[in-house]
A and B are shown apart, each in its own frame.
Chain A
Amino acid sequence: MIINHPLLGPRDSEEFVYLGSADLIDRPDWESRTVADDFHQYQYIRENIAGDNRELWYHEQGDQSWLLVTRNTLTHEIINVELAQDVSRSMGRGK
């Protein structure tokens, strides 16, 4: 596969390490009332998506960016590639 890195352009997927669902960005608040449930969901519960899946890839053999890759799990078409830190910020995560 080829991942179109937002900063470096098209790169072979061999340069990357796959992590999993981009939901991992959305780490729950440790002080929430439902913290036990929240973390259980966060850590273990995953949709097995047949279609567009948002997932995290790490450019280990490259610039060490974490990328959010939107990939169709049926066709392997890559629809979108973003820097995970931009997405994280846009989701309201900061410090």
Chain B
Amino acid sequence: MSQINRIDGGLIDQEKPVSFTFNGQLLQGYEGDTLASALLANNKHLVGRSFKYHRPRGILTAGSEEPNAIMEVGSGAYKEPNTRATVTKLYKGLYAKSQNHRGPLEFDFMAVTDFFSPLLSAGFYYKTFMWPKAFWEKVYEPAIRNSAGLGTLSKEADPDTYDKGFRYCDILIIGAGATGLSAAITAAQSGAKVILADEDFVMGGRLNSETNEIDGLPGSEWAIKTVAKLSAMDNVTLMTDTTVFGAYDHGIYGAIENRDVEARADKDKPRQVNWRIYTKRTILCAGATERSIAFGNNDRPGIMLASAVRTYLNRFAVSVGQRVSVYTNNDDGWKTAKDLFNKGVNVVAIVDSRSIEPVMRVAGAQIFMGTDVVGTKGRRAIKSIKLSNGKTIETDTLAVSGGWNPNLHLTCHHRGVPKWNEELATFVPDSSAPVGMSIAGRAKGTMVLADAIVEGHNQGSAVAAELGYKASNSDPASTPIVAYNISAQWSVPSGNNRAWVDFQNDVTAKDIKLANQEGFRSVEHVKRYTTLGMATDQGKTANVLAIGIMAENMEQTMEETGTTIFRPPYAPVAMGAFAGRRRGMEFYPTRYTPSHKWSAKQDAIFVEVGMWYRSQWFPKPGETHWRQSVDREVKQTRSSVGICDVTTLGKIDLKGIDVSEFLNRIYVNAFAKVPVGKTRYGLMLREDGMAMDDGTTARLSENHFVMTTTTANAVSVYRHMQFCHQCLWPDLDVHMISVTEQYAQYAVAGPNSRKLLQKIVDPEYDISNEAFAFMAAGEITVCGGIPARLFRISFSGELAYEIAVLTRYGDSLMRVLMEVGEEFDAIPYGTEALGVMRVEKGHAAGPELNGQTSAYDLGMGGMVSGKKDFIGYTLGLREDLQRDDRLQMVGFKPVNKNDLIDKGYSLAGAHLLGLRDDATTENDQGWISSSVYSPMLGCYIGLGFIKGGQNRKGECVRAVDLVRGSDVEVEICSPHFFDPEGERLRV
């Protein structure tokens, strides 16, 4: 039978059926349904099993606060667990499965845990799994993990896309119920730029669920009319299906727009959009959420919040039962009885805990005042209720209202604390809302609709006026005044029957009592001990009820008991929405060097260096191991010529009459008198005396310098230099700009490098050894007039140059260099060969400039000037940094040259010990920071740090690598392994 609970009317389109699948069964709903309303229309009350006890659970609410009706929606990689059926818009082909049961939903094998419930009380885990200790890893943890968690993950990558968006407005109005719509209209009419956001896919809030009359129209029609008016205004942006989940600093709000239906129809569309909304003012009109009452077995399918019963009835045209009872402690519960009666549904009983006159008469309904529900029967669906007067009433649905809690969460995101309101029996916002936020309507505790509308209306114009807009002088919409009276009722004594407070985490009134008895008195401690309010619903229906129970247990006021801290997000947000498009290769930008295309054609292997892709090596046909390529590249460079793209080095262009003085203050060595046309190596320290970065700086003309930094520190060095200039010496005439991306730069290294370059450098520039000596720098032209910069600097230790051209010439320069280099068998080399050659030459790089090494540790103490102030000078002189037994950088080579060669790995990471010392932490003397196979020396070599190393050359120590299991005797030596006198680079 199809949709047996469906009645006429509602705000759905009964002309448009929508088919969907629940637990393998094909069902039908209508356009405008939620998954929950469609399930109820098909009389599916049992929709899941509870977390701990696997109790049968039904739909409790009709909104985002739902604790029970959470299911897996979608299949395959699209599957998402813990999706709230109450806010899932129904679409054709929607595929849903209930979760947290083994075997079919109706006969969950895990339901046996319910019978062990006396053992599973608050703090169960803390008390039970303490002993025997050895059981934890093998027995307890796997068992707990197996039964923990709701729903299952697809374990596939999320195939959906998520977007981020930014919006700006004068006034953000959160919630498009009667209050929000009233506020939006007056704010918009004043001319202010307004965004109105609502979590529902239809605006109107509770107006769609109730039978109010506003300005002579049914509430839902007034809402449609008002929304139409707003959407016709250019200064208004309407955002449906958008949950504002967080209030951040300075009027910034986070919001998630759900676009599931659109994404299912077109997979190129984002599934969710994570909006950042910049506001000048915000009016929170988020309404209120109904709470339950804790009585025995109050969690059976068919027991729902009274307001949800009305929503399903009025909005979705679903009668959730045929014989309905109502249990309430306030006037609002009676509305449910009235609405049901008006739609022809039998109301069998109205039970009100207050000893007052009945609020109204409802034909056919027995009325019990001053009476409570103390128990229920019916395992998979409620069958009867038992009252405190001893009577039992047969019923198929129980509508419960424990009163309304303002949705004040966002008012507390800046640590605001709500205050207790006795008359409303709930917490209301106090004055500590985030700056710029005002609150109106039921979110503020204004429970009477007529008052809420006026409040929204007034605040809309008042806030607009504060921003300088002319207030509109329209009248607020009018609606009859309906009183809201309540008398708090938290829990009902229910004997041995458990009374649920937090449905999703299975926390009962008894658990709270136990926690209180065991000494957990702070609300924050009770929360963590019992897991109350810690499920995906964050206790929206549970928390205030729990605080009420705690206050009773401890005989203190609600104010004294207090609330837990509210933090964003208000509702669950998918991780994908925070990631947005930043996934996989888009996690951060990819930077390609100018020679990338050419290198890719040569089958280069690329390595990520920061965001850059650099060629690591260039395999030639027949080379099957990376070492073959790297060894060849090193040998070929050292014997003829090799070319390496070094564009990724940071490049900073400096101009001004004080640049040399500025450089003098940021480098340890003297820079004041660098001649024009010369390059100088410089070492930069942090203010604490530790090495920060190194590089070369060339003086191109009197007041023009160009600096290089390491690839990794390009950004931070530039930032540091800006700090030094702007904060420390603002009047130095220095102007700098990063030109890393503006220039392509290649190292041309090897004995034939000059000959190669002479073929492209225009003839008017003499680059002979006499005219362009080691460390020379100059602006030249190449290939018939292309401007270039040439630096005779060498990282490889060979006769070498670096040549820079504007980036747009970078690709063709690489091709030209290779073309003219053919006669020398020029080869391209990658970062591996670069690394091998720098270790052979003993140049410190990233592994050595590790933030813990001073200039002295690096063997560069001799460079440090004593005649000037520079960053790091004073603190670098501290006694401890000058001690002889510090870890100092030196070279290491195996005593037996063949060591490790058969193993195929280097000394990198090995720790250094005395020859007779055991490999213990106490005996540790240092470590190898960089190690490579040197094809020139025919053995592995390394750079590393060892205590007092600079005075221990010639001594032998153990290099022990416990991870890979090697133990090699190495000799401490100079780090300059190859051509220690540097003769090759000066020829």
Q: Which residues of A are at the interface with B, using a C-beta cutoff of 8 A? A: 1-2, 12, 17, 19, 24-25, 27-28, 30-31, 35-36, 39-40, 42-43, 56, 58, 60, 64-66, 75-78, 83-85, 88-89, 93-95
Contact = CB atoms under 8 A, between A and B. Distances in A.
B250 A85 contact: no
10 contacts: A2-B251, A17-B719, A19-B723, A30-B873, A30-B874, A56-B723, A58-B719, A58-B723, A77-B435, A88-B728
A84 B875 CA distance: 24
B874 A85 contact: no
Contact of B730 (A1, A19, A78, A88): A88
A66 B722 contact: yes
Contact of B249 (A1, A89, A95): A1
Nearest to B276: A12
Contacts of A65: 726
B729 interface: yes
A42 B686 CA distance: 13
Contact of A95 (B732, B873, B878): B732
Contact of A36 (B248, B250, B661, B874): B874
Contacts of A75: 414, 435
Given A30-B869, A58-B719, A95-B658, A39 B726 contact: no
Contact of B727 (A42, A56, A95): A56
Given A43-B687, A76-B250, A95-B658, A25 B728 contact: yes
B252 interface: yes
B731 interface: yes
A25 B874 CA distance: 16
B430 interface: no
A71 B869 CA distance: 32
A25 to B, nearest CB: 5
A30 B867 CA distance: 11
B250 A2 contact: yes
Interface in B873-915: 873-875, 878
Contacts of A30: 869, 873-874
Nearest to A32: B874
A40 B249 CA distance: 35
B631 interface: no
A95 B728 contact: no
Contacts of B731: 89, 93-95
A93 B874 contact: no
A85 B726 contact: yes
Contacts of B873: 30
A76 to B, nearest CB: 5
A25 B435 contact: no
A93 B728 contact: yes
Contact of A66 (B248, B414, B727): B727
A60 to B, nearest CB: 6
A78 B727 CA distance: 20
A66 to B, nearest CB: 4
Contacts of B160: none
A85 B730 contact: yes
A93 B250 contact: no
Interface of B: 248-252, 278, 414, 435, 658, 661, 687-688, 715, 719, 722-723, 725-732, 869, 873-875, 878
A93 B665 CA distance: 15
A90 to B, nearest CB: 10
Contacts of B875: 39-40, 43
Contact of A39 (B250, B661, B874): B874
B134 to A, nearest CB: 44
B726 A66 contact: yes
A69 B719 CA distance: 17
A60 B729 contact: no
A57 B509 CA distance: 51
A73 B715 CA distance: 28
Contact of B723 (A12, A36, A39, A66): A66
B719 A60 contact: yes
B732 A58 contact: no
Nearest to B724: A27
Contacts of A56: 723, 727
B249 A76 contact: yes
Nearest to A17: B719
B874 A88 contact: no
A84 B688 contact: no
Contacts of A93: 727-731
A93 B723 CA distance: 13
Nearest to A95: B731
Contacts of A60: 715, 719
Nearest to B278: A2
A56 B687 CA distance: 16
Interface centre among B414, B722, B729, B874 (most CB of A within 10 A): B874
Interface centre among A40, A60, A85 (most CB of B within 10 A): A85
Contacts of A36: 874, 878
B851 to A, nearest CB: 14
A58 B731 CA distance: 19
A35 B435 contact: no
Contacts of A17: 719
A89 B249 CA distance: 31
A81 to B, nearest CB: 12
- The 7 A-B pairs of least Cβ separation, nearest first, read A30-B869, A94-B731, A85-B730, A2-B250, A85-B726, A66-B726, A39-B874
B352 to A, nearest CB: 45
Contacts of A2: 249-252, 278
Nearest to A4: B250
A7 to B, nearest CB: 13
B722 A64 contact: yes
A75 to B, nearest CB: 8
B581 to A, nearest CB: 16
A3 to B, nearest CB: 9
Given A24-B727, A65-B726, 18 more contacts: A1-B250, A1-B252, A2-B249, A25-B728, A30-B869, A30-B873, A36-B874, A36-B878, A43-B688, A60-B715, A66-B727, A76-B249, A84-B726, A88-B727, A88-B730, A93-B727, A94-B731, A95-B732
A94 B278 CA distance: 39
B873 to A, nearest CB: 6
Contact of B729 (A31, A78, A94): A94
Nearest to B738: A64
A31 B729 CA distance: 17
A31 B873 CA distance: 11
A91 to B, nearest CB: 10
A17 B679 CA distance: 32
Contacts of B249: 1-2, 76
Contacts of A64: 722
A60 B714 CA distance: 13
Contacts of B722: 58, 64, 66
Nearest to B728: A27
Contacts of B251: 2
Interface centre among B250, B252, B278 (most CB of A within 10 A): B250
A93 B724 CA distance: 12
B730 A89 contact: yes
B209 to A, nearest CB: 38
Contacts of B878: 36
Interface centre among B252, B435, B722 (most CB of A within 10 A): B722
Given A1-B249, A64-B722, A66-B723, A95 B874 contact: no
Nearest to B716: A17
B732 A25 contact: no
B727 A85 contact: yes
A17 B903 CA distance: 46
Contacts of B435: 75, 77
A77 B248 CA distance: 12
B764 to A, nearest CB: 37
A34 B873 CA distance: 15
Contacts of A35: 874
A78 B723 CA distance: 21
Nearest to A94: B731
B729 A95 contact: yes
A75 B722 CA distance: 29
